[in-house]
Chains A and B, each alone.
Chain A
Amino acid sequence: MTRGPLAERRDLLILVLDTLVPASAEFPGAGAVALDHVLAVAAADAALESLLSRGLKVVEEAARANGVSGFAQLSPDDRESVLRQVERSHSDLFEAFVRHTYDGYYGHPMVVTRLGLDPGPLHPRGHRIEAADLPDLARVTARGPIYRQA
């Protein structure tokens, strides 16, 4: 299987994703769970693949402008600073990264589970809502008709 230009920069992509959505006590970073999605959508769309690949180059160039040999050499705080520079200078490109990272991250079963939801298909299970009495609308009806006769 041929690896696309984005997959060739997999290690850098993981660092970018982890900077967008860092790991926390209960949640993994996006590098662990959104990577496959980002690679998959890029592999299915040449224009997106090109856009994101260009984005990684811009990130590397921005990192080098900060006096290091690459993004990986930066501390997590400095990585975030570099990405904020890229967000300002290449907003369209950056939005594509954020959108697909969020899609992959919050569509992932592990994350959905940590949010307290069932990660599987919605059907056939649906959601159970406890039966409730019909709402009390006495106040609303007490006003009488509020429509105009025509």
Chain B
Amino acid sequence: MATDDRTDVLVIGAGAAGAAVAWRLARAGIGVACLEQGDWVDPRAYPHWRADWELHRHTDWSAEPNVRRLPQDYPVNDSASSISPLMYNAVGGSTIHWSAHFPRFRPSDFRVRSLDGVADDWPIDYATLEPFFDLNDRMMGVAGMTGDPAYPPKSPRQTPPIPLDTLGVTMARGFDRLGWHWWPSDSAILTRDYDGRRACVNCGPCDLGCPIGAKASTDVTYWPKALASGARLVTRARVREITLGPDGLADGAVYYDREGRVHEQKARAVVLAANGIGTPRLLLNSRSARFPDGLANRSGLVGRNLMFHPYAMVRGVFDRPLDGHRGPIGCSIIGQEFYETDLSRGFVRGYSFQVARGLSPIASASGGSVGDRVPWGREHRRAYDERFDRTITVAIIGEDLPEPGNRVDLDPALADSHGIPAPRVSYTLSENSRRMLDHGIARAREALEAAGAREVVFNPLLRAGGWHLMGTARMGRDPATSVIDAEGRCHDVPNLYIVDGSTMVTCAGVNPTSTIQAVALYIADGIIRRRA
């Protein structure tokens, strides 16, 4: 086994959270080494440079590792889950694939037990995170508008909002007719050049990556700055286990390099940033005599309380072209009329509407996220032409509540290419979430019809919608009911930190990356303070 130079802090995972922590620590003069199982993505490798770009969405650029099956991916047994986990393994992590919706959690999202009597409060609050939200916004670059009444006042956005275009304006009119809230999405996509990065050219499929760096994947935001500050990044380095010293503290990790050689990276502290599936997997694979049930798992909660954001997809068909092929695919406007709890609706907590762009040519035929493929045969041409560029899809993103039975554990048979046991995901949609989505489907139908849709179809639960992986090493004050404390330290191993979506106590009704990164920066600040 080769032994690498000891470092102050070892970060495992170079995605949204790992990149933010690595930058923050390196800039403070702390030695940082990061192990990432994926590689850098060459900007010229993105499908956008090829005429057949759309064919790659369901093959080598799929968001599903079980479909993509690249050498750096690991398999996930999701046969017992109604939602498939999505992720990308590379420098930048899943920000390579994300649609860059960038809403923050709201103040009430951190106080769900106090306000609504469900789940648990976070041990930190919105006000504590606000400076880190702002810092993260500056690092990522956010397009948007201040003044949204759904949020406390925010600092100025870095660039103007992404264009609503014909499609967004059409949907906004629907919300206006109903008197409902809507706002241009906060999007981590530049509409003007910013911080050495180029503005978006509205090509469309952000979900396949961004070849010009207008979308804020952390390989183009945090990592160049982290490396310039002295951080060391090792790619194609797959961690097998986190190791403990005789004092019971984490002292590094054992990993396989790209040639399959085993290395040991020693460190004074370890930061886990491997996402809400990868982090519990690694902890559960790091068994020892001291932790026979997995590292930092005396509570038995590592891997439990898995939250996805369950998505329902509602699509309206209109009688006129909507220019939906242009502009960032996932973002135009957000609606939060039904976000806060109103028990008269039949469920607790709430959801957001996200208005996406239109369907590309192949997706129009296959039905996209609604899955209603165009009929084949004599009726095909007419049916296709009635749909292509005439649809608006409203996604309902609901707040999932933590439930111990929804979990990640280790599959007894499945393993990755290095023989490391693979994760197994068990997830059942709760009755509360089902009622919430059903309410959202009905309201989205109203909004689409108010916008002029002549036909509305929907998918009640998007299976390939597990973009957000949360809750599997939750934060809290009580070691019996949480895995990490309010500073991100594992209760059981105080120099082992967790900073990814695993930390989330609850998951709100919006995309989590802005909040995950703000929490990661907050935890990094604590590491810096304690070192000083």
Q: Which residues of A contact B (CB under 8 A)?
A: 19-22, 24, 27, 37, 80, 83-84, 98-99, 101-103, 105-107, 109, 111-112, 115-117, 119-129, 131-132, 134-135, 137, 139-141, 143-150
- A120 and B183: CB pair below 8 A? no
Bound Cα distance A82, B285 (Å): 53
A27 touches B381 (CB 8 A): yes
Q: Is A128 touching B365 in the complex (CB atoms < 8 A)?
A: no
Contacts of B381 in A (CB 8 A): 21-22, 24, 27
In-complex Cβ contact of B184 among A103, A135, A139 (8 A): A135
Per-position 1/0 for B124-155, Cβ under 8 A of A: 01100000000000000000010101111000
| Cβ contact of A106, chosen from B161, B340, B361, cutoff 8 A | B361
List, in ascending order, chain A residues with CB within 8 A of B50's CB.
121
A101 CB → nearest B CB, Å: 8
B: interface residue count bin: 35 or more
A105–B326 contact, CB under 8 A? no
Q: How far is the CB of B120 from chain A (nearest CB, A)?
A: 14
Whole-angstrom distance between the alpha carbons of A12 and B38 in the complex?
Answer: 43
Assembly CA distance A80 to B379 (angstroms): 11
Task: Determine chain A's interface SS by DSSP, over half rule.
Answer: loop
Are A132's CB and B366's CB within 8 A? no
Residue in A37, A106, A117, A141 with the greatest tally of chain B CB atoms within 10 Å: A106
Establish whether residues A147 and B51, one from each chain, have CB atoms under 8 Å apart when the complex forms: no
- Do the beta carbons of A132 and B163 come within 8 Å of each other? yes
- Inter-chain CA distance A99–B367, complex, in Å, is 11
**Contact A126–B203 (Cβ < 8 Å):** yes
From known contacts A127-B326, A132-B163, A148-B107, infer whether A122 and B365 are also in contact, taking CB-CB under 8 Å.
no
How far in angstroms is the closest Cβ of chain B from A57?
Answer: 20
Q: How far is the CB of A17 from chain B (nearest CB, A)?
A: 10
Chain A residue with Cβ nearest B376: A20
Which B residues from 29 to 69 make CB contacts under 8 A with A?
46, 48-55, 58
* A13 to B: closest C-beta gap in Å: 15
| Interface-central residue, B55, B203, B377, by most chain A CB under 10 Å | B377
Between A and B, 23 residue pairs with Cβ closer than 8 Å are A20-B380, A22-B380, A37-B55, A84-B377, A99-B366, A102-B374, A107-B362, A115-B388, A115-B389, A121-B53, A123-B201, A126-B203, A137-B147, A141-B147, A143-B149, A143-B181, A146-B150, A147-B107, A147-B151, A148-B115, A148-B340, A150-B110, A150-B114
Smallest distance from the beta carbon of B443 to chain A beta carbons, Å? 15
Q: Which B92-122 residues sit within 8 Å CB-CB of chain A?
A: 106-108, 110-111, 114-115
Known: A127-B201, A147-B339. 16 other contacts (CB 8 A): A19-B377, A20-B376, A80-B377, A98-B376, A103-B58, A111-B361, A122-B48, A123-B48, A123-B203, A126-B202, A128-B202, A139-B179, A143-B149, A146-B149, A146-B336, A146-B337
B479 contacts A by Cβ under 8 Å: no
Main secondary structure of the interface of B (DSSP, over half): loop
B164-172, B268-276, B452-460, B514-522 - interface stretch: B164-172
Q: State in angstroms the CA–CA spacing of A83 and B376 once bound together.
A: 10
B-side contacts of A149, CB under 8 Å? 107-108
A22 and B51 alpha carbons, distance in the complex (Å): 24
Q: Please report the C-alpha to C-alpha distance between residue A120 and residue B54 in the assembled complex, in whole angstroms.
A: 11
Q: How far is the CA of A128 from the CA of B327 in the complex (A)?
A: 9
What residues of chain A lie closer than 8 Å to B114, measured between beta carbons?
150
In the complex, the answer to whether B172 meets A135 with C-beta atoms within 8 Å is: yes
- In the complex, what residues of B have CB within 8 A of residue A148's CB? 106-108, 115, 340
In Å, the complex CA distance between A81 and B340 comes to 52
Stretch at the interface among B3-11, B204-212, B296-304, B395-403: B204-212
Interface residues of B (CB under 8 A from A): 46, 48-55, 58, 106-108, 110-111, 114-115, 125-126, 145, 147, 149-152, 160-161, 163-165, 169, 172, 176, 179, 181-184, 200-205, 211-212, 323, 325-327, 336-337, 339-340, 361-362, 364-366, 373-374, 376-378, 380-381, 388-389
Contact status of A83 and B377, CB under 8 A, knowing A99-B366, A121-B51, A125-B201: yes
Cβ–Cβ < 8 Å partners of A134 in chain B: 145, 160-161
Contact B203 A127 (CB under 8 A): yes
Is A146 within 8 A of B163, CB to CB? no
Q: Please provide the 6 A-B residue pairs with the shortest distance between their CB atoms, ordered closest to farther.
A: A126-B201, A127-B326, A106-B361, A150-B107, A102-B365, A150-B111
Q: Are B378 and A106 in contact (CB under 8 A)?
A: no
Cβ of A107 and Cβ of B380 under 8 Å apart? no
B199, chain A: closest CB distance, angstroms:
10
Q: How far is the CA of A146 from the CA of B377 in the complex (A)?
A: 50
In the complex, what's the smallest C-beta–C-beta distance from B159 to chain A, in angstroms? 12
Contacts of A98 in B (CB 8 A): 373, 376
Please determine whether B51 and A119 come into contact, CB atoms closer than 8 angstroms.
yes
* A106 in contact with B149 given A117-B325, A146-B181, A147-B106 (CB within 8 Å): no
Inter-chain contact A106/B365, CB cutoff 8 Å: yes
CA distance A111 to B360 in the complex (A): 12
Q: Please indicate the chain B residues that have their CB under 8 angstroms from the CB of A140 in the complex.
A: 149, 181-183
B residues less than 8 Å from A119 (CB atoms): 51
Residues of B within 8 A of A102 (CB): 362, 365-366, 373-374
Report which of A20, A37, A150 forms a contact with B108, defined as CB distance below 8 A.
A150
Contact of A127 among B53, B327, B378 (CB under 8 A): B327
Q: A102-B366, A140-B149, A146-B340 are contacts. A123–B327 as well, Cβ < 8 Å?
A: no
